[in-house]
Chains A and B, each alone.
With several copies, the nearest count.
Chain A
């Protein structure tokens, strides 16, 4: 399984903080994205935001990133700490 996390404004927009996806449905980050918007049409508007950042195992990566079972994936808006 792949663990998927959403943070901040995105978490509120999707009304979801965390879910799991079978690795067969998400061999790359791009595929995971496609899978999520397919399963949740209402999420597409928010997940298609070009500014969103994606991390795999807590490192920011590109959408071409290959995924494997046990990965922790996170989607979140640009950061605003400090």
Chain B
């Protein structure tokens, strides 16, 4: 399930949902992305997260379908927050359960690499010097291209 929401999420609850009544799930990987204090040497105070409603969900569904064609995934969950977020706030949750750890690790990393380069979200950083739109990073493109 994909959720785009302003509200925070709870990692313990999301983990519980990924494995509830599923004794086939031998491996569960979760990733959480958070607002951190230093980005490219700027002191970040917070983020404003904009997205393209509708296309966000559609692009994430396509990314999940790709992951499912490459790895054996039992359950998955993507949550991306939007709006104003502050230092230490959770931004994104990706969770995958699988029989085997390789499938869980690789599909979770794939989902994040693709989300970072294909899903229409944009971050505006709030720093002491004002706000500035984040530039996309070459290393994210490279991370994504590993899977091609």
By a beta-carbon cutoff of 8 Å, the part of chain A in contact with chain B is 5, 7-9, 12, 51, 55, 58-60, 74, 76-82
Contacts and interface: CB of A to CB of B under 8 A. Distances in A.
Nearest to B62: A59
Contacts of A12: 133
Interface of B: 33, 49-52, 54-55, 58-59, 80, 91-92, 101, 112, 115-124, 133-137
A81 B133 contact: no
A58 B54 CA distance: 7
B interface: dominant SS: mixed
Nearest to A12: B133
Nearest to B134: A80
Given A7-B120, A58-B55, A78 B136 contact: yes
Given A74-B55, A82-B112, 6 more contacts: A55-B120, A78-B136, A79-B119, A79-B136, A81-B92, A81-B115
Contacts of B33: 82
Contacts of B124: 8
Given A8-B50, A58-B52, A58-B54, A82 B116 contact: yes
B122 A8 contact: yes
Nearest to A76: B120
